[in-house]
Chains A and B, each alone.
Chain A
Amino acid sequence: MPRRILWLLVPALMIAGAPAVAQDDDDDLESRLIQVGRQYATAYIAPLAHGWGAAQNSGMFHTAAIPRSRLTFTIGLKVMGTHLAEDDQTFRRVIRNVDLSDYGLDVPAGARGDVIFEGPTVIGDSDVTGTATGIDEYGAVYTINTISGVIDTRWVPMVAPELQVGGIAGFRLALRWLPEIDLGDLGKTKYFGYGLQWSPGPMLPGLPVDVMIGFFKQEIDLGTVVETDASSIFIAASRRFGLATVYGGLAKESSTMKVSYTEEITDQTVDFEVDGDMGARLTLGATLSLGAKLNFEAGLGKLTVLSAGLLFGI
């Protein structure tokens, strides 16, 4: 698997191939980011930041039914993917009326004008190089090449192992966790998330569906370069039909991706945060119970997220 894919498959990579990320390679995200400044990087990484946050906040539940006095254990694997717009594979950011020499352009001293950053985003064409174009007040145009995409895709995927313990007074605890992996110079990876759900059960008699409320918080660190936080509060309902359970929910959510790296040319530290666009979602899904539970759902909001899970337990 190419390492550039691994950067998008975190935290799956934490299980399988993370140590490889510590090696020098021109294909990964950090080797590209260090070639550009904050304003370029913010736009370049935006689809990943928004998509990743939305993926993190997916697969929060697969039923609203929680026993009140029967202990349940469930362990499984959730797979999510945010399907991004085609336009997210490229970007253009314009910065107006600046000193052009501050943007790596070889221009006469004091030349002022507009700077145009454009090209593939992190999920854009890895064979196409972006550009930084400066145009001064006299119309002279200066263009330099920047960086290419990491991987050409419209999906931001994610994999999360999950443990659920429930059945006490209608509560269910959910944990997502992976062990730390040392990536050498890049630092350590970390993935931890927890959530709590509660179903009133018989306290609301006469309802044709099971209902619950809950929240989930997650944090993923990918070395020293990327940290993400995601949180979601939700209300859900489900109804069982034989072996199948149909469920839906509404969630209010947030996510933040923090990026930090050292710019190669200036040797300065670049720090910035991108807040995820997905602030609310409607979830629709179904779970099939055949010994193991298999669920599939769509999360609909500003972004569209599809997820599936395979869960085992009692």
Chain B
Amino acid sequence: MRKTTMFFMLALAAAWCLGGCSSDTTAPNDPVPSLTNRQVAGQSGFFAVALVQVAPVSLNYTGSKIAAEGEYQFTFAEGDPVQGTVNLQFRLGGADGDLVEFGAADWARAFTAAGSPLAVTVVEGTEPWLLTFNLVSDIDRTPNPDTATVSGEGTLVMGSYSAAWTLEGFVVAAGDDTWPAAGTLMFTTQGKTATVTFDGDHLATVTIGDATYTLNLNNGELTEVP
């Protein structure tokens, strides 16, 4: 009986051990299709158009909801194509200055909280793009209207694709009827980087690899420069 039990236990142990061998994968796991330079340029163009609308937030903010002095939150209305909350900080004396009311600030930060991206519905009926950002603005109250030089970074998730972006020297003015005077957007996805350069009018330049495009900031249309 002892011998029998031993054999049985050994057999069971062997079967369990071998049974622990992992199975091969049976579900397909195709790689996400590689993007062409034209597609990356196109995505950077779409994003640049949105950025032109969003970046002046520190100048155009009218401050209806105050979380604490100098700290604000703006939540988009239900039904708006953009959903989520933008956090704002306004300081006087630069990044290390005191928190102040938005109209008195010379420095501002606009950002999305960790794990709470903005959901941007680009085409009705489709899933939104998810946008995170951390933008810092040096505000100049001398000219009229006020201007801000914005820099920062963020991410953009569009379905199966995700991109990282950085913004440098992006000069915008208060109001809705001006174009960025200067600035560079670097938009990177799948190891490819498109550079968007703004120069004061509604046409920006997109370069990627050997290709150069003109971007119409009114509608995101790209035209290849021969």
Which residues does A use to contact B, with CB under 8 Å?
43, 46-47, 49-51, 82-85, 87-94, 96, 105-107, 114, 116, 118, 121, 131, 133, 135, 137-145, 241-244, 246, 277, 284-286, 288, 296-298, 300, 302-304, 306
**A107 to B12, alpha carbons, bound, how many Å?**
58
Residue from B11, B32, B41, B45 within 8 A of A92 (CB atoms): B32
Determine if B25 and A298 form an interchain contact, defined as CB atoms under 8 angstroms apart. no
How many A-B contacts at CB < 8 Å in the complex? Answer: 164
Best-surrounded residue of B39, B46, B122 (most CB of chain A within 10 A): B39
Query: Which 7 residue pairs across A and B have the least CB separation, nearest first?
Result: A139-B42, A242-B4, A286-B11, A133-B159, A143-B159, A139-B39, A298-B19
**A309 to B91, alpha carbons, bound, how many Å?**
73
The residues of B that contact A133 with a CB separation of less than 8 Å are 159-161
Q: Please, what's the 1-or-0 string for B104-132, where 1 marks a CB less than 8 Å from any CB in chain A?
A: 00000000000000000011111101000
Determine if B46 and A96 form an interchain contact, defined as CB atoms under 8 angstroms apart. no
**A21 to B12, alpha carbons, bound, how many Å?**
37
Determine if B42 and A140 form an interchain contact, defined as CB atoms under 8 angstroms apart. yes
Can you report 7 A-B residue pairs in the complex whose CB atoms are below 8 A from each other? A82-B23, A105-B126, A137-B39, A139-B45, A284-B14, A285-B11, A304-B23
Whether, in the assembled complex, B211 has its beta carbon less than 8 Å from a beta carbon of chain A, the answer is: no
Whether, in the assembled complex, B31 has its beta carbon less than 8 Å from a beta carbon of chain A, the answer is: yes
Q: Classify chain B's interface size.
A: 35 or more
Residue from A50, A94, A145, A304 within 8 A of B21 (CB atoms): A304
Q: DSSP class of A's interface residues: helix, strand, loop or mixed?
A: strand
**A288 to B23, alpha carbons, bound, how many Å?**
27
**A296 to B8, alpha carbons, bound, how many Å?**
10
Q: A89-B27, A94-B31, A139-B40 are in contact. List 4 more A-B contacts (CB 8 A).
A: A49-B26, A87-B29, A244-B5, A286-B7
Whether, in the assembled complex, B222 has its beta carbon less than 8 Å from a beta carbon of chain A, the answer is: yes
Determine if B27 and A90 form an interchain contact, defined as CB atoms under 8 angstroms apart. yes
**A143 to B24, alpha carbons, bound, how many Å?**
30
Determine if A91 and B28 form an interchain contact, defined as CB atoms under 8 angstroms apart. yes
Determine if A306 and B158 form an interchain contact, defined as CB atoms under 8 angstroms apart. no
Whether, in the assembled complex, B38 has its beta carbon less than 8 Å from a beta carbon of chain A, the answer is: yes
Determine if B19 and A83 form an interchain contact, defined as CB atoms under 8 angstroms apart. yes
**A54 to B127, alpha carbons, bound, how many Å?**
38
**A143 to B122, alpha carbons, bound, how many Å?**
10
Residue from A121, A131, A288 within 8 A of B160 (CB atoms): A131
The residues of A that contact B127 with a CB separation of less than 8 Å are 131, 143-145
Determine if B30 and A47 form an interchain contact, defined as CB atoms under 8 angstroms apart. no
Determine if A142 and B11 form an interchain contact, defined as CB atoms under 8 angstroms apart. no
Whether, in the assembled complex, B43 has its beta carbon less than 8 Å from a beta carbon of chain A, the answer is: yes
- Give, as a whole number of angstroms, the nearest-CB distance from A152 to chain B: 14
**A82 to B23, alpha carbons, bound, how many Å?**
9
**A299 to B153, alpha carbons, bound, how many Å?**
53
